[in-house]
Structure 1
Amino acid sequence: MKITLGELATKLGLTLKGEAGTMITGLNTLKEAQVGEISFLANPSYQSQLAESQASAVIVAEDQAELVTSSALISANPYLSFAQASQLFNNRPAFSAGIHETAVIADTAVIADGVSVGANAVIGEHCQIASGTEIGASTVVSDHCVIGESCQLNPNVTLYHNVVLGDRVTIHSGAVIGADGFGFAPDQGKWHKICQLGGVRIGNDVEIGANTTVDRGALDDTVIEDDVIIDNLVQIAHNVRVGKGSAIAGCAGIAGSTTVGQYCTVAGGAGLAGHLNITDGVHIGPMALISKSITEKGAYGSGTAQMPMKEWRRSATRFRQLDSMAKRLQQLEKIQKGEV
């Protein structure tokens, strides 16, 4: 894509300080940008790179515009403007409607006009796929699935039966939606499988990362509400509900029947135990283990801070001594009160 700086400023709704006729061909970081590319400054830690950047223009906040040696695109939210610019320069191959000759599609499936079905894709019985949706190569859509408009299922995605996707849902390769939840009843040393009779319902404008799994419900559905973003390698167990606008980072795991409220963030590697309720507006820190429900919004974490290994080993020894230390302290308090 080629666009003048003036046209770009208009499309992004930004104020331009510089040469409107400059031709822009792409985006890059401040450090790596070359002439013809734009960059952005959203993190003050990178401000020192402005002086030496070769970018033809930089998206910045108004109070940093004077620091830009080339043209400046002034934004109230530079990171958001960068995201919008990236969509203009998206280099993903263009969408092309049509059904590949090697695709296997059940006779009862209803596929709207303007759908793309890739090579070796499989679409099961009684599925419904709305216009503008792309089914990638070797993707499997099992029986009784409903897929909304303008969805993007990349190659090698698997939807089990009874999965419902809203509009503009993006699912990346290797993701599995609707596999059985981890439900088993123990009896005399044996595990008896609990058939998972629910499904999965995913709202509008949801993005699910590569190799992420969303299990089907045991009885009720597992639900991902509108505008949720889920990173790669995330596990969402059966009957979980994730509220509108929440974000879950890589390698996080949410155990069964837990509800995550609206506009929450779960950082990488965090784990949420089952049957919890997390209220709206909660941030869970990286590697945190959440074992109790959270009723007040705010930031929560667990575990110990980073420290040199020698110090950590000493601290670990102290952790093991805490119970006996607490008991001795209670005994001393009783002695002090004359109770012993």
Structure 2
Amino acid sequence: MAVTLAELARRFQGRVRGNPELVIERVAPLESAGPQDIAYLSDKKYFPVLANTAAGVVILSESDASEYGGCALIVTDPHLCFARIAQWLHPYPVFTPGTHPTAVINSDSRIAKTAWVGPHSVVEDGVEIGDDVYVGPGCFIGNHVTIGARSRLVGHVSIGDRCSIGEDCLLHPGAVIGSDGFGYARNGEQWQKVPQLGRVIIGSNVEIGANTTIDRGALNDTVIGNGVKLDNQIQIAHNVHIGDNTAIAACVGIAGSTRIGKRCTLGGQAGITGHLDIADDVHITAGSLVTSSIKQAGAYSSSLKAEPAEKWRRNAARLHHLDEMARRLTKLEEKLQQQSEEHEN
């Protein structure tokens, strides 16, 4: 797609500095952008790259505009503006509605005439697929699943029986929705499986990354709210509830029956133990382990940064003596307090 800078400014509420008739064809990073590309700057540490960019246009904030003499689109939030322009200039490929000859579709399923079911996909009994849905190659859609309008299963996505996907969702390759939760009762030295009878309910405008798994509920449902964004290789256990517009980075593990509020963020490799409540607007940094409920909004961390191995071994050895050191310190404080009181008397 090719568009003038003036049109971009009109669509995305920006101010043009330079030639409004300059034609832009695509987005690109500052360091490799060319004359028909648009790039952006959102961090001052990239000023040296900005000075040498060959981009036709750079999206800048008002405060940074003076650092660049070339053509610019000046907006309030450069990163957000760049994301919107990128989505507009690079839309998903257009598909022709229908079903591939190799797709296996149960006659009892209802598939909108504007939807597409790709090669080697399987659609089971009682499935409902909405308008403009794209089901890519190799997908499995279980019995009585519903998929809302304009949702997109990129390929090799599996959706278990009775699960529900909202409108405008994006599921990347390898995502598994509605696998059995990890539920077992001990039977002597063995384990008795507990049937997982709930569903997974996914709201609208949700993105689920590659190889992310969301288990169905044991009795009640696992629920993913509207606008939730899940990165790759996340594990969400049975009966978890995730509030609207929460974003979770890669390799996070969330144990069963935890409830996470709205607008939260979880950094990569964070771990959340089961049966916890996380309030709205909580931000958990990468690598943190959360073992108790969080009732107040804010940022939380629990990880230790990496250090040279020799220094870490010394510190780890001292950790074993913390209780003894604390007791000795308490005794010293008591003794000093006693001496102070005797001196005063």
TM-score tier by shorter-chain length is over 0.9
Structure 1 counterpart of 2:79, one-letter code: Y
Structure 2 counterpart of 1:318, one-letter code: R
The correspondence of residues 156-305 of structure 1 with structure 2, limited to 5 A, is 156-305=156-305
Q: TM-score, normalised by structure 2?
A: 0.94
Tell me the distance in 2 between the aligned counterparts of 1:318 and 1:224: 43
Tell me the distance in 1 between the aligned counterparts of 2:119 and 2:324: 65
Give the CA deviation at 1:233: 0.4
Greater shift in the superposed pair: 193-202 or 65-74: 65-74
What secondary structure, in the 3-state scheme, does the structure 2 residue paired with 1:177 have? strand
Q: Note if contact 2:125-2:143 (Cα within 8 Å) is conserved in structure 1.
A: yes
What secondary structure, in the 3-state scheme, does the structure 2 residue paired with 1:220 have? coil
Structure 2 counterpart of 1:34, one-letter code: G
Report the counterpart of residue 58 of structure 1 in structure 2.
Answer: 58
Moved over 6 A (4+): 333-338
The correspondence of residues 111-150 of structure 1 with structure 2, limited to 5 A, is 111-150=111-150
Structure 2 counterpart of 1:128, one-letter code: E
Structure 1 counterpart of 2:316, one-letter code: A
Give the percent of matched residue pairs that are identical in Structure 1 and Structure 2. Answer: 41
1:54-98, Cα deviation, whole Å (9 max, x unpaired): 011100001222222221101001011000110122164323211
- Note the residue ranges of structure 1 that are not aligned, 5 or more in a row: none
Greater shift in the superposed pair: 124-133 or 82-91: 82-91
Greater shift in the superposed pair: 9-18 or 98-107: 9-18
What secondary structure, in the 3-state scheme, does the structure 1 residue paired with 2:39 have? strand
Greater shift in the superposed pair: 198-207 or 46-55: 46-55
Equivalent residue pairs, number: 338
Q: Note if contact 1:6-1:21 (Cα within 8 Å) is conserved in structure 2.
A: yes
Give the CA deviation at 1:337: 8.2
Q: Note if contact 1:50-1:69 (Cα within 8 Å) is conserved in structure 2.
A: no
Give the CA deviation at 1:169: 0.9
Report the counterpart of residue 72 of structure 1 in structure 2.
Answer: 72
Report the counterpart of residue 341 of structure 2 in structure 1.
Answer: none
Give the CA deviation at 1:323: 2.7
Give the CA deviation at 1:311: 1.2
Root mean square deviation, CA, Å:
1.5
Q: Note if contact 1:184-1:192 (Cα within 8 Å) is conserved in structure 2.
A: yes
Greater shift in the superposed pair: 157-166 or 6-15: 6-15
Q: TM-score, normalised by structure 1?
A: 0.96
1:155-205, Cα deviation, whole Å (9 max, x unpaired): 100001111011111100001000000001112111110010000000010
1:308-332, Cα deviation, whole Å (9 max, x unpaired): 2211111111112223333444566
Tell me the distance in 2 between the aligned counterparts of 1:64 and 1:178: 47
- Note the residue ranges of structure 2 that are not aligned, 5 or more in a row: 339-345
Residue 81 (structure 1) aligned with residue 81 (structure 2) = yes
Greater shift in the superposed pair: 321-330 or 136-145: 321-330
What secondary structure, in the 3-state scheme, does the structure 1 residue paired with 2:64 have? helix
Structure 2 counterpart of 1:207, one-letter code: E
Structure 2 counterpart of 1:226, one-letter code: N
